[in-house]
Structure 1
Amino acid sequence: MRKPLRILILILIALRLLVLASCGKDYDWHQKLTVEVETPEGLKTASSVMSARLSDTHGPFVPAEANGVSFQLNGEAVALEVSRGRYLFVLLKSVPALNWLVYPKMESVKAGALLENGDDGGAGRVALKPDQYPLLGTFYDINNPASVKRVDPTNLEATFGPGYRLNGITLVLTKEPVARGKVEKLLGWWTRYADQAGRMISLRYPNKSPRGYDTLSPLDFWSLGNIPK
């Protein structure tokens, strides 16, 4: 091989390695969300294992506006049957990242690297504070999309009746596989509702916002794309 050609190949390899090194890094771990509810029939619990990914896009060749750290969560919402045919869903929307809970004073990228290696700093199961609770929802009729309702975590009785109380919501680092299938099976009717572009329709639920409602999409209940093997 001619010397100039060898030099060109080495330069191309070096440039490729430099570009790869400048594209940031992803840190992946699994976190298990568990909800406990006191019911007239006793304490009931349900869990869902989710795949968390912390992406660091800092790099010398990354545009300034693209530099930063982002968090993505994939998996299924927690679905707890609190009474026959009535489910409490702890939605993916606003589930906190475990790195912020177990390493609150550490740079998020460093914390993500520790969690990816299975190190939670000895935190174990973390009890969420009320202001850290994800969005809770239910359907008065699990087969009727129009019956969707937001659930107040401080007042489950208003939705489910006397004797129902949220006992707590916890997060823990785990090596268990990501949950699949339960929520999609419960809400299989959602796949039959689509707009003209073929996208699944979002559901409205009333709230106290100026427009009087907010929306829930299928991605608030299950998001199973981009899960690392």
Structure 2
Amino acid sequence: MMLAATIPVLNGCVPRTQVAPYRYRMTVEVDTPTGLRTGSSVIEVRPRLTGEFAADMAIVGEAVPVDLPDGRTIYALLWSRLAADWAGWIVLWLVRPPAMGNAPIADVVRAVAATRIPLVLPRRLPAGAGYPLIGMDARPSFVAFGDERRPKTIRFIDPDDIGGGMKLRRITLQVTDDAITHTIGDRLPWLASQRGSLKPSSMDAPLADRQLESLTEVAFVRRGY
């Protein structure tokens, strides 16, 4: 999907096929006045090749909740303003070195699956992520709810200024064999029946509300293709 637009595709049709899925743990660390708060989620990426240099990246997994000392919970989404399929591509974007810029996508995916060291998510995507992504914000979007029982109370959170003297310390991504996380349904039970935009808006709504209209339930939980 996203990478297909940034890497040349060879002429001719290549049958759709799959390469082995892999999992990674996303851990979010937040500095607070009472100490470090963390949350994590294990996400599975299921690549499906659509050509020698192109693929779809389905995922099974959930957003990362971080419980803060003031009673709020912030969520690092599976979605970013850079790409709706951020969670499927971010580890590949970080692992893929410039030397593999012209490598078949199957080889890049295998390199990702073999990388077991923790990766610290940079603020901006580095060289190797593929044109035109270099230099763009690498982080997922963060949200919180005024009332977690009411989806329409959702709002974006600035990870550099969460409020109350709190801010994001870092996000790490590490390929793992751990089980996929399935806990967010207990926090947000309405996700099971939610379909479409969490916060519908009109053209005359504030800009922040119009941007929030892009968020649906799949920003929080995905179950594959």
User: TM (normalized to structure 1)?
Assistant: 0.71
SS of corresponding position for 2:21: strand
How many aligned positions are there? 184
In 2, the alpha carbon distance for the partners of 1:143 and 1:166 equals 25
**Per-residue CA distance 1:112-144 (angstroms, 9 max, x = gap):** 12334xx11x6x111112221011111121122
Distance 1:149 1:74, change over 3 A: same
Alignment correspondent of 1:203: 198
Looking at secondary structure, tell me which structure has more helix per residue.
1
Paired residues for 1:1-229 under 5 Å: 22-58=15-51, 68-83=54-69, 85-93=71-79, 94-95=86-87, 96-105=89-98, 106=100, 107=103, 108-116=105-113, 119-120=114-115, 124-130=117-123, 131-157=137-163, 162-180=164-182, 182-192=183-193, 200-204=195-199, 208=207, 211=210, 213-225=212-224
SS of corresponding position for 1:27: coil
SS of corresponding position for 1:54: strand
What percent identity do the matched residue pairs reach?
27
In 2, the alpha carbon distance for the partners of 1:141 and 1:83 equals 16
Distance 1:211 1:166, change over 3 A: closer
Give the drift of 1:190: 3.6
Give the drift of 1:57: 2.1
Distance 1:207 1:26, change over 3 A: farther
Do the aligned residues in 2 keep the contact of 1:136 with 1:152 (CA within 8 Å)? yes
In 1, the alpha carbon distance for the partners of 2:18 and 2:151 equals 39
Q: Counterpart of 1:47 in structure 2: which amino acid? A: S
SS of corresponding position for 1:57: strand
Give the drift of 1:109: 2.1
In 1, the alpha carbon distance for the partners of 2:209 and 2:192 equals 30
Unmatched 5+ stretches in structure 2: 1-13, 80-85, 124-136
Give the drift of 1:211: 4.8
Give the drift of 1:38: 0.8
Q: Counterpart of 2:42 in structure 1: which amino acid? A: V
Do the aligned residues in 2 keep the contact of 1:103 with 1:111 (CA within 8 Å)? yes
User: TM (normalized to structure 2)?
Assistant: 0.72
